[in-house]
Amino acid sequence: MRMGLLQLNSVSKIFDTITAVDRISFALAEGEFLSLLGPSGSGKTTTLQMIAGLTHPSSGEILLAGRPIGPLPPYKRDIGMVFQNYALFPHLTVARNIAFPLEMRRMRRAEIARRVAAVLKLVDLSGFEGRYPQQLSGGQQQRVALARAIVFEPKLLLMDEPLGALDKKLREQMQLEIKHLHKRLGVSIVYVTHDQDEALVMSDRIGVFNQGRLEQIGTVEELYEQPTTRFVAEFVGETNVIRGEVRDGANGCCILETAEGPLRGRARQAVTTGSAALISVRPERLRLAAGQPARSDGDGIQGHICEVIYMGRLRKYVLDTAGGQKLIVARQVAGVEANSFAVGDAVVATFQPEDAVVLQDAHEHGDK
Amino acid sequence: MTGAYSERFWPSLRAAFCLAIVVFLIAPMVIVAIVSLSSAPFLTFPPPGLSLQWYRKLSGSSVWLDAIATSASIMLPSAAVATAAGTAAAVGLARARIPGAGLIASLIMAPMIVPVIITAAAMLGAFRAWGLQGTRVGLILAHTTLAIPYVVFTVLAAMRLVDDRLESAALTLGATRWRAFWRITFPLILPAVLSGLLFAMVISFDELVVSIFLSSPTVRPVTVQMWSDVRGDVDPTIAAIGTLLLVFSVSALLLETALNRQRARPLVAEAAATGPEATR
Amino acid sequence: MNDRSDLGAWLVLPAVLIVGVLFAYPVSWLLAKSVTEPVVGLQNFKQLIEAPVYLKALWNTIVVSGSVTLLCVLLGYPLAYTMAHAGERLRRLLIFVVLIPFWSSILVRTFAWMVLLQQKGLINKTLIDYLGLIDQPLTLIYNRTGVLIGMSHILLPFMVLPLYSVLTRIEPSLAQAAASLGAPPHRNFLRIYLPLSLPGLVAGGVLVFVIGLGYYITPALLGGPGDTMIAQLIEMQIADFGNWGLAGALAVILLLGTTMTFLFVSRSLLGVR
């Protein structure tokens, strides 16, 4: 494996009886933006804390630039960290907060002042030197926390759900700002979030966490188009999952026998005939046509529209299928919709086999 | 401080130090208890042997039994009145519109802040003029006055925790203001009221300085009796009575702690931080 | 927030009456005596300032109270820190332990120290007989040492509890952030934790100092003639000499000292930011 900036080898963290982090391994290249994405309690923050040195791994090792950093205490690791609640020192001004890491490194006063001013300009807070954290808005505090974490030019920056406390508009604005900062500084970032839209916007790669395990790591496109587990398919973006039995599984193209009839999809791993499996189709990859009594050729699911949700850019249809489950179809609203349906219409939802992914039906990932 | 990277040294040193301080806090009282069981008529520690003779002496001494009875007969009424008046005041301050509320609150809290010696001397002068010096009633009135601030402090803190929107909800559901208070708010502040009652009882029973000034040879609480004995010839009888006082206090504290198991920790620390043995 | 009702105003009346009549009036009367007895004028204060015995007692009071405050800070900070960082059960146990002396009679506690500090008391016994460290017993009682030990013991909870209250509110993420920014443990403590704990230290310190100023029982039982504090003077003036004017003047000074300490501290705390 290529030696990147950061490497985790089979790192675990066990608290009494709870395994918070279960044999996580991944590598981070220089300048890369990696998001750790997952629901609350899935182990992402604990992983971050182990990288920072605030918690000790129960097993496994962490390498920074090829060297194990296990024995190094947090104050010697030279890693920047932005905390969820910002952790700004309330008794220090903005300037002193930002100057703090430089003072710890015994930099000269003039140099400190210069750097603080420069980084304040970078985060667009020039003039705020004398204010105290309590006097700032949430967004401003967030930027001070960021400034403080990068002023000493670390190679690696850790961010623990830094935008969680901000409202939607501000969050979206900050996401772009962070992304631009990343490009500008060339620093490697490990970013923890539970918001998949956020991860999609900002990251080069995403690692999806579930109950302490790293289920899949890859680019946004890889995760979206080729999820390897049901959890990833459902967590990153929206999808429809249909249960079935493998009827024919030869070189990547698979036929599943389902309650909706036979459906085809791509399988990344080998599947054995007769085994239980799932097929995952994204809502926007489904097309709707007026229903016909006879089964149409190809992969189609019959049903009735039970709900229509207008969302501006998209129109979502919720279908009651013939096989007894709910299907979500999303169509773009493009001008005068020639092809829009109403509640009660009988329809067939069709998709291309390349747009569907076949996944193992492992029972731990079963019902969510 | 955090994680596994703090060295072993500082936490161990701190633990040892804290143990020493805890011993410092508790040991003297344990020693009094042990001395009270001494078989020798001296205050030596460790005692040469154990015996219950001093407690027997207490139970046979009319001086001491009278003193205990006096203390009890002062404690009960004063604690009751202080709790009632203090609770009422706290409720009023928390909920009602009172002109000059700040000043009134300061006035009510004043006995807690003013050094007790001043209160004692002042009460001596005034009570003497009113013919209350050396009477049981005088002592009851004095103890009540001293206890009220603690009750108010405790109950007021609890009132502030109870959302007054609960009463509003009760009002929309058809309750009168009075019933809303008794059925909703009062049960919620009851632990604090009982804490206040316990505080008031311990304050009264342990009170010394004011009682010195206001007692007489015929009306003499336990603490005053101890005070006069402790500066003369001392034998372990004093230790025995002291131990009884300690048992009383610790029992009250245990009761209070059990009452407040549900409450947030900082609240207990703050409410208890103005405990019975404050400004003396 | 509800509209406040007018009806409940009378609820405060009983407490106000009791405290007003039985406390406020007598105290005002006593304070007034300082300038009305035996004749109208400031002669009582003049007497206090001119006689060295009174000045010495005033000085003693401040020094003793200040020393006790310092001792309580040194003893109390580690204890409060441990309590704030302890697990649930240890924390509750420590709070209980700190509260016990708090709820017990000062007289009994002071008496306990009388037992411990005397010539043949446990402390001397341990040093001489058990540990063999010294030959002659130390005089630990009826002098300044006894007073300091006794008062520190009794006033320690007043330092620990307010301090603990503040320490539990310090966010743990602040120390973590400081560590991630390069602060080694001792600098982390000095630059981040200690400044943030200062309000608690001040609150506890003021409490201990002010209560100590007015102390009577402990100095009376554990101190020597050279350790007389204001409260004992007040008692002497009334009980032995019947000199209410002088007693009133002493009370005025004590009260002034108490009030000024409070004001000074809250002013300087509020003034910083």
> At C216, which CATH number?
1.10.3720.10
Q: How many helices (H) and strands (E) does chain B have?
A: 13, 0
Q: What pLDDT shows up at residue A275?
A: 83
> At B259, which CATH number?
1.10.3720.10
Q: Which chain C residues are closer than 8 Å to A73 by Cβ?
A: 179, 184
Contact A75 C177 (CB under 8 A): no
Q: What pLDDT shows up at residue A99?
A: 94
Q: What pLDDT shows up at residue B265?
A: 37
CA distance, residue B20 to nearest chain C CA (Å): 10
What stretch of H or E contains C165? Answer: helix C144-167
Q: What pLDDT shows up at residue C40?
A: 84
Contact C25 B84 (CB under 8 A): no
Average confidence (pLDDT) over A93-120: 94
Q: What pLDDT shows up at residue A295?
A: 52
| Core vs surface per residue A25-55: b (16+ CB within 10 A) or e | ebbbeebbbbbbbbeeebbbbbbbbbbbbbb
Subunits in contact with chain B (3 or more CB pairs closer than 8 Å) = A, C
C-alpha to C-alpha distance for C111 and B248, rounded to whole angstroms: 17
C-alpha to C-alpha distance for A207 and A218, rounded to whole angstroms: 7
Q: What pLDDT shows up at residue C205?
A: 93
B94 assigned to some structural domain = yes
Checking if the pLDDT of B16 tops 60, the result is yes
Checking if the pLDDT of B4 tops 70, the result is no
C-alpha to C-alpha distance for A279 and A242, rounded to whole angstroms: 5
A176 inside 8 A of chain B by CB: no
Checking if the pLDDT of A228 tops 50, the result is yes
CA distance, residue B8 to nearest chain A CA (Å): 14
Which range is most confident: A97-101, B94-98, B158-162? A97-101
Nearest residue of C to residue A76 by CA position? C182
Residue C1: pLDDT band (50, 70, 90) is very low
Collapsed DSSP state (helix, strand, coil) of residue A287 = strand
* Domain span including residue C65: 42-272
Checking if the pLDDT of C253 tops 80, the result is yes
Q: Which chain C residues are closer than 8 Å to A78 by Cβ?
A: 182
Residue bearing tokens 């040991």: B27
Q: What pLDDT shows up at residue C140?
A: 84
CA distance, residue B130 to nearest chain C CA (Å): 11
- For chain C, give the number of residues: 273
What is the number of structural domains in chain C?
A: 1
Contact C182 A90 (CB under 8 A): no
Nearest residue of A to residue C181 by CA position? A101
Residue C224 or residue C133, greater confidence: C224
B5 inside 8 A of chain A by CB: yes
* Sequence-separated (6 or more) residues with CB below 8 Å from residue A83: A145, A160, A162, C173, C176, C177
C-alpha to C-alpha distance for A192 and A241, rounded to whole angstroms: 27
C-alpha to C-alpha distance for B138 and B150, rounded to whole angstroms: 20
Contact C191 A100 (CB under 8 A): yes
C98 inside 8 A of chain B by CB: yes
* Domain span including residue B209: 62-266
B40 assigned to some structural domain = no
Interface size between A and C, measured as CB pairs under 8 A:
68
Contact A56 B3 (CB under 8 A): yes
According to DSSP, residue B134 is labeled T
Q: Which chain A residues are closer than 8 Å to C184 by Cβ?
A: 73, 75, 104
Residue bearing tokens 């629901």: A39
CA distance, residue C88 to nearest chain B CA (Å): 10
Looking at every residue in chain A, the average pLDDT score rounds to: 87
Collapsed DSSP state (helix, strand, coil) of residue C272 = helix
- Are C200 and C164 a contacting pair, CB within 8 Å? yes
Q: Which chain C residues are closer than 8 Å to A85 by Cβ?
A: 171, 173
Collapsed DSSP state (helix, strand, coil) of residue A206 = strand
Q: What pLDDT shows up at residue A362?
A: 64
B112 assigned to some structural domain = yes
Contact A78 C182 (CB under 8 A): yes
Q: Which chain A residues are closer than 8 Å to C179 by Cβ?
A: 53-54, 73-75
B8 assigned to some structural domain = no
Checking if the pLDDT of A237 tops 80, the result is yes
- Are B200 and B79 a contacting pair, CB within 8 Å? yes
C218 assigned to some structural domain = yes
- Chain segment B92-129, per-residue pLDDT in tens: 998 887 888 889 999 999 998 899 999 999 999 999 99
What is the number of structural domains in chain B?
A: 1
Residue A337 or residue A114, greater confidence: A114
Residue A335: pLDDT band (50, 70, 90) is low
* Sequence-separated (6 or more) residues with CB below 8 Å from residue B251: none
Rounded to two decimals, the pTM is 0.81
CA distance, residue C192 to nearest chain A CA (Å): 7
C130 assigned to some structural domain = yes
Amino acid type, B147: A
Nearest residue of B to residue A72 by CA position? B5
B13 assigned to some structural domain = no
- Chain segment A292-307, per-residue pLDDT in tens: 645 545 568 888 899 9
Q: What pLDDT shows up at residue B17?
A: 84
Residue A8: beta bridge partners?
A26, A62
Contact C173 A83 (CB under 8 A): yes
C-alpha to C-alpha distance for C251 and B121, rounded to whole angstroms: 9
- For chain A, give the number of residues: 368
- Token pair, residue A273, equals 């005939």
Interface size between B and C, measured as CB pairs under 8 A:
306
Q: What pLDDT shows up at residue A101?
A: 93
Contact C103 B253 (CB under 8 A): yes
Interface size between A and B, measured as CB pairs under 8 A:
14
B3 inside 8 A of chain A by CB: yes
Looking at every residue in chain B, the average pLDDT score rounds to: 85
Q: What pLDDT shows up at residue B72?
A: 95
- Token pair, residue A228, equals 């390897």
Average confidence (pLDDT) over B139-165: 91
- Chain segment B217-243, per-residue pLDDT in tens: 999 999 999 999 988 878 888 889 999
C136 inside 8 A of chain B by CB: no
C185 assigned to some structural domain = yes
Q: What pLDDT shows up at residue B272?
A: 45
Facing residue for A75 by CB, picked from C173, C174, C179 = C179
- Are B216 and B133 a contacting pair, CB within 8 Å? yes
- Report ipTM (2 d.p.): 0.87
C97 assigned to some structural domain = yes
Q: What percent of chain A has pLDDT over 90?
A: 52
B278 assigned to some structural domain = no
